[in-house]
Chain A
């Protein structure tokens, strides 16, 4: 059975490694940084795998570790809930983290912040594990914010770069906007359920299905809708859904290994995980599910468009991540939680692979990230080429690859869903397939095929003003990095290829998520219909893949790849011409639909402006000027006035007396 003494080490080992390396890293030999953290994360992975084997066999663990806080009769705990969903997440997180740790040895080899970086990524592993292993909302929120903290530290890892420290502040604040809603959602849960333990809340949820709350006088909403939407605001921040997506592309300022680990494979999927975990709540509100689905669909399609025009290799992958997160969110909206988690898992592998591949390319190109400067890297970096090709094929949903099984299921779910907004979502995810294939293979062809463009470039162009960007000279050849980089690529390529084939049956159609994810199939029937379709017509993963070759998504994907091939290897003049022809559209995409400018001007500028008004007018002028110092001044002025009466001249006083006598006489004569 699973025991607390086993579980507690899984997050604790990476934490201990992070603490030792973080606090004493400068005193230890350089190698100690990666030896210790890899040992910690490796052990966590091994233990996670052990736990996974136990939950597969049916074990479920739900115990509190200690009581964090009591207030009145309420208790808040730190504890673990380990079921199949948790243990699968644990394995994915620790596996990708382990790969990234190994990769980092090569990627950060020359960086002065070597041990600091290892400490951070181990700390991240701890935080993410606490998030997924939680059995209550408080600890979930703790992990939620802790991964945000590490993300902040890592985006700003190169703290002398102005863009990096701008990006990390932005990431943290945008995430805080999400957390603002999330915390209110948690507050609603506590108020109406009297507890923050998942088990208690989920059990009591159906009884609250009809509860109405009235936030504005006279308007009443369903409690579950309000709660689920507030919680989803948190997911929108963490999982970068429109309009809280703005931080993710900028987060690419961080070193590439963390883009793979945090901003692709694990942290950004926390929102997806959370909604799936909360399925007993979301199932009670079709309105919330509809909203989730529409937002996911917008993200999936419109963020994909932005991927088309990016020239920074990491940003292409970043927009692809945004778009894929949108896919997962669509699946959540369609009540296909298991499909969302399935895609989360396959995406974690192939997107981590793509990012690490991009990192290898960046190393080969001497930190030049512009794909227009690359080309024909296939010749110089065969392992990177091959693994990136696998990753790209998985991403666009080529049958038999991991991404095919999960993405195709999402498209099916959107098609079969009947809640409001599902029509748009179906269109968006279908169109997204074409877009994904186009930008993925645009990048692929520009990087790995075609002419060796860095040789034709003016050398100066590749130089940036800080030390991290170098670029290749005209006569330099790119070199593939050593085995510490190649090994993670190869190890990630394997699940990117096979995991879908292996996992689809148990995860989507088996008992894997039984008792974990609950779907009200009466109202939200998409998942049941998919299962029905699979059981009666496809029956095996291989048949599903073969069937996939004849389906619309495959043609769309193939079309996207073919177009990319034609544009970027045969006729590079066409995209250039299109860009000039449709300059207006290009400008909209270039400005990322104007979200950044709007936020900068309206929210950031607005808050600063309001702040200075309140300060200068409210505090300085009104309170201090008029009241505080004003009182002092009026007393002073009064004293000045009174002082004038005491002139010291006898005739003044005598005159005053005479007037006084006169007034008194008048008073007594006429009034009395």
Chain B
């Protein structure tokens, strides 16, 4: 290991963002864009050693970095990753490159600021995925909200103020309870090291309360029903890039954090409240799918579809078997590609027609056949068609949940019908049929830039559909270790809360 990979992965994009901010200017738009792209690409390249040098057998944290930060409170700058974090970090750095390319000539005002927001956000999110100190994690977690707040607030749609405030308050409220949990754990352990949190015994009530405090933070992020209503609003108002990052990565922070904090710190609490988590997940899968069916706005539909798909992640985690856990991980990665692609597709249409309403389209395939082919592919992936990555996670979670209870699998499997119904019905109304109006008649097919990013995503979606094993190979050792940890009670009978 020649350089501190994780630190570089975090700070390089942030530094690149600052440089873009300083040097970039709307008058030198082209230069600004290339500069941002160079930064994004470099930031992506420096994360690759995490994959190439990853030790598949190691169940602990790898690539660790440890230095003092605030010694008075035992707070350290402690980084490290395991099989859960690495795929998500790679997803983050790749998505950032895609977002930069996707914004190329679409963003015309405040280009430097826009690009910088995404670069900085990328570094902060990687920080969340690799922090092993609770306070460090918390700082990254909260800091990440700011660029996203700016992206929606500055480049967003007409109702962006309502959406940003809703987004910010929703997530902040949850995070504060998480901070309370951290402070409580600090009092129990005398440190903010996550590994200490894993070891400290806690009685069941304390575990339940800690779990619920984390739940407040993470369930909002995922989002789980019933704290999901910020997401459709945020997506509708966000610019394409914002939606992509929101769906592809930010939602995963919630899922990842359940694995990093809520579950291993309070395993008995997680088991005790597992029924609630499964119920909420199943409600998300079924209820939200039905809601998605009747949406008239494409972005809202995909936002609801995201919530429904994220239901599989939490369902998979809380059935406590390898199939479900690794299925949830695969689902997170896959949903990162698919939701990014779906939002990019809406962006392609929005850039041309400036409408997200399904009814504003019809027969797009006549004028944009190549784009339609991509859209149908991603729609199929969103419907969980085998040989796309969308199938793998759902398949694993459904089969895993059946081992717990047939009816969980029954409800989860309704996504086969509802997922296909809302996605393909939208495809039918937007893409098929005769040319609906003069906007559609004047559409131009994908340009090279759009073709490039959609091709990359298409290859990933199909590639991981045909061969998903690389993802599970990476999560395998960590998942088994995790399940073992979860199966070991860490109760402390006497301790009060």
Contact = CB atoms under 8 A, between A and B. Distances in A.
Contacts of A608: 293-294
A153 B395 CA distance: 23
Contact of A173 (B385, B421, B473): B421
Contacts of A72: 321-323, 326, 479-480
Contacts of B468: 68-69
B427 to A, nearest CB: 9
B229 A624 contact: yes
A646 interface: no
A145 B386 contact: yes
A215 B410 CA distance: 11
Contact of A69 (B392, B432, B479, B480): B392
Interface stretch (B46-54, B260-268, B401-409): B401-409
Contact of B294 (A173, A187, A615): A615
Nearest to A196: B399
B88 to A, nearest CB: 18
A59 to B, nearest CB: 28
Contact of B416 (A138, A176, A628): A176
A612 interface: yes
A607 B398 contact: no
Interface string B368-385: 000000001000100101
B432 A156 contact: yes
A183 interface: yes
Contact of B420 (A172, A215, A611): A172
B385 to A, nearest CB: 6
B291 A611 contact: yes
Interface stretch (A3-11, A159-167, A347-355, A541-549): A159-167
Contacts of A28: none
Given A67-B469, A149-B380, A173 B420 contact: yes
Contacts of B365: 159
A639 interface: no
A188 interface: yes
A141 B386 contact: yes
A179 interface: yes
Nearest to B295: A615
B166 interface: yes
Interface string B408-431: 011001101110110011001001
B290 A215 contact: no
B398 A165 contact: no
B396 interface: yes
B428 A623 contact: no
Contacts of B294: 608, 611-612, 615
Given A145-B385, A619-B291, A628 B323 contact: no
Interface in B52-101: none
A142 B327 contact: no
A190 interface: yes
Contacts of B290: 607, 610-611, 614-615
B293 A146 contact: no
B165 to A, nearest CB: 9
A151 to B, nearest CB: 12
A69 B473 CA distance: 8
B140 to A, nearest CB: 26
Interface in A58-85: 66-74
B322 A215 contact: no
Contact of B402 (A70, A73, A165, A188): A188
A143 B76 CA distance: 52
A179 B363 CA distance: 29
Interface residues of A, number: 53
A149 B365 CA distance: 18
B496 interface: no
B243 to A, nearest CB: 19
Contacts of A74: 322-323
A165 B432 contact: yes
B355 interface: no
Interface in A195-237: 213, 215
Contacts of B326: 71-72
A69 B472 contact: yes
Contacts of B110: none
B467 interface: yes
A267 to B, nearest CB: 15
A444 to B, nearest CB: 36
B160 interface: no
A165 B473 CA distance: 41
A583 B337 CA distance: 56
Nearest to A609: B294
A24 to B, nearest CB: 12
Contacts of A152: 424
> What's the interface size class on B, roughly?
35 or more
A526 B475 CA distance: 52
A1 B166 CA distance: 67
B366 interface: yes
A191 B402 contact: yes
A176 B420 contact: yes
B387 interface: yes
B275 interface: no
A611 B387 contact: no
Given A611-B291, A628-B166, A173 B417 contact: yes
Contacts of B472: 69-71
B287 interface: yes
A184 interface: yes
A146 B387 contact: yes
B433 interface: yes
A624 to B, nearest CB: 5
A618 interface: yes
Contacts of B383: 176
A169 B385 contact: no
Contacts of A169: 424-425, 428
A54 B289 CA distance: 50
A349 B214 CA distance: 63
B410 A71 contact: no
Interface centre among B365, B428, B468 (most CB of A within 10 A): B428
B219 to A, nearest CB: 13
Given A70-B476, A165-B432, A184 B413 contact: yes
Interface string A610-650: 11101100110001100110000000000000000000000
A618 B469 contact: no
Contacts of B166: 628
Interface of B: 166, 170, 226, 229-230, 287, 290-295, 321-323, 326-327, 363, 365-366, 376, 380, 383, 385-387, 391-392, 395-396, 398-400, 402-403, 406-407, 409-410, 413-414, 416-418, 420-421, 424-425, 428, 431-434, 466-469, 472-473, 476, 479-480
Interface of A: 66-74, 138, 141-142, 144-146, 149, 152-153, 156, 159-160, 162, 165-166, 169, 172-173, 176-177, 179-180, 183-184, 186-188, 190-191, 213, 215, 607-608, 610-612, 614-615, 618-619, 623-624, 627-628
25 contacts: A71-B322, A71-B326, A72-B326, A73-B322, A142-B386, A145-B385, A146-B385, A162-B433, A165-B428, A173-B421, A173-B424, A176-B416, A177-B417, A183-B395, A184-B409, A188-B402, A190-B402, A191-B403, A607-B418, A608-B294, A611-B292, A614-B291, A624-B229, A628-B170, A628-B229
Given A149-B380, A159-B363, A628-B229, 13 more contacts: A69-B472, A71-B326, A73-B322, A173-B424, A184-B409, A187-B413, A188-B406, A190-B403, A191-B403, A612-B294, A615-B291, A618-B291, A627-B226
Q: 6 closest A-B pairs (Cβ-Cβ)?
A: A72-B322, A187-B402, A611-B290, A142-B386, A611-B294, A165-B432
